[in-house]
Structure 1
């Protein structure tokens, strides 16, 4: 079984979330940078991710796509990093809850906000997130009781939820609430987050220099 951890990515994509998670995990990995027009659409990569998108990882013969799934997988594959509560830990429930709240309602909400899509009041029950203000209120509540989503314990859920919040505030698809800004400031100061940003920013700079 091949234990090599391969990370398929582009530095101008959601792969930045996974890069941060990989740096938190602290295990060796090989990054394969792909471009949107060509290498993401080759038969070789489409065999890994038929969507032709990044990020994706391969590890021990397993392919994992989707940022939240990759974060959850890595946390469980490398438990020594302490990025997920154990299965019998009561915090496992909240960990799953907020990880996948961000993958579902938050992702849908910020996408609609970016596209200028307003959900009609009589259709809110059909939409997973209902209204944007409900998403904001739920996140505010989640972050009101401690430094992290699990109180004083940092986890993979913070990598994913924090990344969503950081990007959304930057692009104006979620408001800059004080509790969100404090949370993102705390997360973005983590050594692994800084390393990940430097790695991806260096790739972007190299791309620009080559054009």
Structure 2
């Protein structure tokens, strides 16, 4: 494998998103599985990500953390994969990529932790209310085949992963719009390859 592109991950983490994106760009890469606990907080890994969490990627001398950033970076670094629209057409692409990284993840996490803001507090959080977030998301995935239009993009990798996990683990209420969208994006060969690799890594580490 090419040491110029390295994925630091754990198969039981958001590293699955980064793996899917790497399989989409079809660039050779090496995987380093980082165990939870001391290994993730070791000086060696903290030099890669001071937060001590996965995923992260290293591309040459460039290190990228945070899943949305990894997806956006790889789409730009490997343009032949055609996973980002032309710059002048990136409005929806950026909007939904970072909607998932901000309002969606924050709203779902807060609800799961029992910390939903009350009516007075909603103006102080970026997402307002979970109801507004989910209604907006349902409308967005129903508007076109993919989240940024008729063409699959890195935004679908990231947003689709959130929807897929939400439906699997019950943090998102099942509805036809979410189910149909997830079926479209998860039917890709790159997703199947990435899932198989991470599932195998889980068996090895168990």
Any unmatched runs of 5+ in structure 2?
none
* 2:178 pairs with one of 180, 187, 190: 180
| CA distance in 2: counterparts of 1:117 and 1:36, whole angstroms | 26
**Pairs within 5 Å for 1:92-131:** 92-131=90-129
How far did residue 3 of structure 1 move?
A: 7.2
How far did residue 140 of structure 1 move?
A: 1.3
| CA distance in 2: counterparts of 1:134 and 1:28, whole angstroms | 40
**Pairs within 5 Å for 1:148-167:** 148-167=146-165
What is the DSSP-based 3-state SS (H/G/I as helix, E as strand, rest coil) of the residue aligned with 1:144?
helix
How far did residue 137 of structure 1 move?
A: 1.0
* Alpha carbons 2:68, 2:98 under 8 Å: kept: yes
Counterpart of 1:55? 55
| CA distance in 1: counterparts of 2:105 and 2:148, whole angstroms | 21
Q: Give every structure 1 segment of 4 or more consecutive aligned residues whose post-TM-superposition deviation is greater than 3 Å.
A: none
| CA distance in 2: counterparts of 1:64 and 1:183, whole angstroms | 28
Q: What is the number of equivalent residue pairs in this alignment?
A: 205
RMSD between superposed Cα atoms in Å: 1.2
Counterpart of 2:130? 132
Query: Structure 2 length normalisation: TM-score?
Result: 0.96
Counterpart of 1:76? 76
Query: Structure 1 length normalisation: TM-score?
Result: 0.94
What is the DSSP-based 3-state SS (H/G/I as helix, E as strand, rest coil) of the residue aligned with 1:174?
coil
Counterpart of 2:200? 202
Counterpart of 1:147? 145
| CA distance in 2: counterparts of 1:85 and 1:118, whole angstroms | 35
Moved more, 169-178 or 192-201: 169-178
What is the DSSP-based 3-state SS (H/G/I as helix, E as strand, rest coil) of the residue aligned with 1:76?
helix
| CA distance in 1: counterparts of 2:136 and 2:78, whole angstroms | 30
Counterpart of 2:29? 29
